[in-house]
Amino acid sequence: MDHDETNWKLLQPMDITQMVYEHFAKTFPINCSSVIRTCSPNDGITALTKPGPFLQQTIRFKNYFGIFIEGRLAAMTGQRMHPRPYMEVSAVCTHPDFRGLGYAKTLILHVMKIILDNSFTPFLHVLSNNSNAIELYKTIGFSTRKQIFVDLIRRL
């Protein structure tokens, strides 16, 4: 492996808050008149919403879900990292046209139910300056575990 610093480019330094859900409730009220369906690799709003370190091909891991309104992806989230006994709630994002309608929370609860039903503990990462998201996660029951400073880099 080449460790020469000239072969790498800093894309984005990030201040991230890691949050964990430790309430271990197994049921959530999911109330959404829209259909939650699995996202395909062609779906995605992460480039528009920039939820954090989510690269273009990440959605190919599958386990990403969306709420679609009149054929448009209104919100999405999914699962990514799985360091046992935890499983990450990943890429929580809502298209700007659909913010404030509860779609992100609905999807978070949907993904958390899957995680908890499989006996894992949900956790997530959020950009530390995203106070709206942090407040939402706290209302669901997440608490801050740790601050992390990450440099997103790319090999040249």
Note the Cα 1 to chain centre separation in Å: 30
Q: Does residue 58 carry a pLDDT above 70? A: no
Supply the mean pLDDT for the chain.
82
Higher per-residue pLDDT: 52 or 105: 105
Radius of gyration of the chain (CA): 16
Q: What H or E segment, with its residue span, contains residue 114?
A: helix 103-117
pLDDT (0 to 100) of residue 57: 55
Q: Does residue 59 carry a pLDDT above 70? A: no
pLDDT (0 to 100) of residue 34: 57
CA-based nearest residue to 91, from 145, 50, 41: 50
The model's confidence at residue 7, banded by pLDDT at 50, 70 and 90, is confident
| Least confident range of 33-37, 101-105, 106-110, 152-156 | 33-37
Domains and CATH numbers, the chain: 16-147 (3.40.630.30)
Q: Does residue 30 carry a pLDDT above 60? A: no
Q: Region 128-133: what's the mean pLDDT?
A: 93
List, in order, residues 6 or more apart from 111 with CB less than 8 Å away. 65, 77, 78, 79, 89, 122
| Contact status, residue 136 vs residue 104, Cβ threshold 8 Å | yes
Higher per-residue pLDDT: 37 or 40: 37
The model's confidence at residue 22, banded by pLDDT at 50, 70 and 90, is confident
pLDDT (0 to 100) of residue 108: 93
pTM summary value? 0.81
Note the Cα 102 to chain centre separation in Å: 15
β-partners of residue 142 are: 21
